[in-house]
C-alpha cells in the first residue's frame, strides 16, 4: 500500500458502510485509463467500499464525461462520482478545448446536483507524463471517500 493509499491529508480514509460510488471512464487513451481504473478500484475495495456498490460507465472520450456524470448524479444512487480519463497534448489546440470543457462540465454538474464529482482526468503534455501519474486513480478514490465523509 502506497503512502497515498494509507492516508490523505494525514488521515486514514475509510469508507462508510453502504457507500455507493459511480465511476465514469473515458475510452480514449485506453491503456492509461485502464491503469487509473485498476488503481482506483483497488483503493476503493481496500478502503471498504463493497464491489457491488461500485458502478462504472464508459464513454468514448473526455468530452463526454460530464454528460455521463450528470446522468449518474441525477439518478441519486451515488454518494460520489469519480471521473477517469487522459487528455494528452497534441499539435493542435484541440487539447485545450477538450480539457477545459471536461473540467468545467464536471464542476458544473457537481455544483448543480450537490454530488461530489472527483476530477481524475489527467491533462498532460505527453504520454510519459501520463504514465508517471497513474497514482491519480488512487488519489481520486481516496478523495471520493473523503468528500463523502465531509462534515459541514
Instruction: Given the residues 94, 104, 107, 112, select the one marked as catalytic.
Output: 94
In tens, the pLDDT along 25-51 reads: 999 999 999 999 999 999 999 999 999
Is domain 19-147 in CATH 3.40.50.960, yes or no?
Answer: yes
Q: How confident is the model at residue 10 (pLDDT cuts 50, 70, 90)?
A: low
Residue 46 CB burial class (10 angstroms; 0-12, 13-18, ≥19) = middle
Where do runs of H (alpha helix) occur along the chain? 3-6, 30-46, 65-74, 94-113, 127-132, 136-148
More confident residue, 151 or 142: 142
Distance CA 29, CA 34 (A): 9
Distance CA 124, CA 54 (A): 27
In tens, the pLDDT along 54-105 reads: 999 999 999 999 999 999 999 999 999 999 999 999 888 888 899 999 999 9
94 is catalytic: yes
pLDDT at 6 over 50: no
* Confidence (pTM): 0.91
Q: From the CB of residue 151, how many other CB atoms can be counted at a distance below 10 Å?
A: 3
Are 29 and 86 a contacting pair, CB within 8 Å? Answer: yes
In tens, the pLDDT along 114-148 reads: 999 999 999 999 999 999 999 999 999 999 999 99
Amino acid at each position: 500500500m502506497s503512502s497515498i493509499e494509507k492516508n490523505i491529508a494525514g488521515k486514514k480514509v475509510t469508507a462508510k458502510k453502504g457507500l455507493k460510488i459511480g465511476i465514469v471512464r473515458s475510452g480514449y487513451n485506453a491503456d492509461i485509463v485502464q491503469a487509473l481504473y485498476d488503481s482506483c478500484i483497488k483503493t476503493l475495495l481496500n478502503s471498504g467500499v463493497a464491489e457491488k456498490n461500485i458502478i462504472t460507465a464508459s464513454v468514448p472520450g473526455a468530452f463526454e464525461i460530464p454528460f455521463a456524470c450528470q446522468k449518474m448524479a441525477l439518478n441519486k444512487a451515488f454518494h460520489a462520482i469519480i471521473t477517469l480519463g487522459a487528455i494528452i497534448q497534441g499539435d493542435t489546440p484541440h487539447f485545450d478545448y477538450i480539457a477545459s470543457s471536461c473540467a468545467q462540465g464536471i464542476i458544473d454538474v457537481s455544483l448543480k446536483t450537490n454530488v461530489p464529482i472527483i476530477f481524475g482526468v489527467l491533462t498532460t503534455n505527453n504520454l510519459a507524463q501520463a504514465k508517471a501519474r497513474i497514482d491519480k486513480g488512487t488519489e481520486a478514490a481516496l478523495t471520493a471517500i473523503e468528500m463523502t465523509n465531509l462534515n459541514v
